[in-house]
Amino acid sequence: MSTLRKKVAERLVAVKNQTAMLTTFNEVDMSAVLELRKKYQKSFQEKYGIKVGLMSFFAKAVTEAIPHFPQVNGRIEDNNIVIPGYVDVGIAVSTPKGLMVPVIRNAESLSVPELELKIAELAQKARDNKISIEELTGGTISITNGGVFGSMLSTPIINPPQSAILGMHNIVERPMAINGRVEIRPVMYVALSYDHRIIDGKESVGFLVKVKEMIENPERMLFGGNDPLAGLLGV
């Protein structure tokens, strides 16, 4: 085993032994985001030089959902619960040397294009073995996408000392009940693994539902995850 593989193995076993890890699931209708990408992909690529992916939308949704459920962004430190006032998102990247999780600092202050550019930059550095230790440490929550390998569903393992990790999966056309009618929609199953010592079921489920709402209604990301029409009415 390589030194990196040994270290990763130690951390994964420690997570299983030292946390009360649970996973909650939900399904997301990806129609709105896929349509948004299709409509603006050419303009986005011309302006930023890269294609807009799905990870940046989920990263944005996570940063907007955290203020509603701050415990999801926390950690346990010396029997104290620490809730950072910022969101450093770790993005799991598969490299020839194994799994790495580069960290996007202060992701809550970044737009979707800025997140996309940062994800691409860090992922390439990780694959080229040019990533620094500083860029791999200090995250407050992570996102992993097993869907790129064809995974339908999984229970991702928390990246310590973080308390939660969001798992994305593949998109499959499935029948859904829409306003009393069956329609075929592109659906992704999502998972949130969390440390039950700090995050209760209500918070974990509520957080995942909030992320789901924003992916299904991307305009909510511009309003802190809230319904813009409800905000207009002050309710």
Q: Choosing from 68, 88, 169, 196, which is the catalytic residue?
A: 196
Phi, psi at residue 105, to the nearest 5°? -75, 140
Active-site residue, 200 included: yes
Q: Backbone dihedral region of 186: left (phi > 0), alpha (psi from -120 to 50 degrees) or beta?
A: beta
Q: Residue type at 189?
A: Y
Active-site residue, 128 included: no
Q: Choosing from 68, 128, 200, 227, which is the catalytic residue?
A: 200
Helix or strand run (H / E) with residue 178: strand 171-178
Burial class (CB in 10 A: 0-12, 13-18, 19+), 155: middle
CA distance 19 to 121: 32
Q: 3-class DSSP state for residue 187?
A: strand
Q: 3-class DSSP state for residue 183?
A: strand
Quote the tokens at residue 50. 């890269």
> Would you name the residues annotated as active-site residues?
196, 200
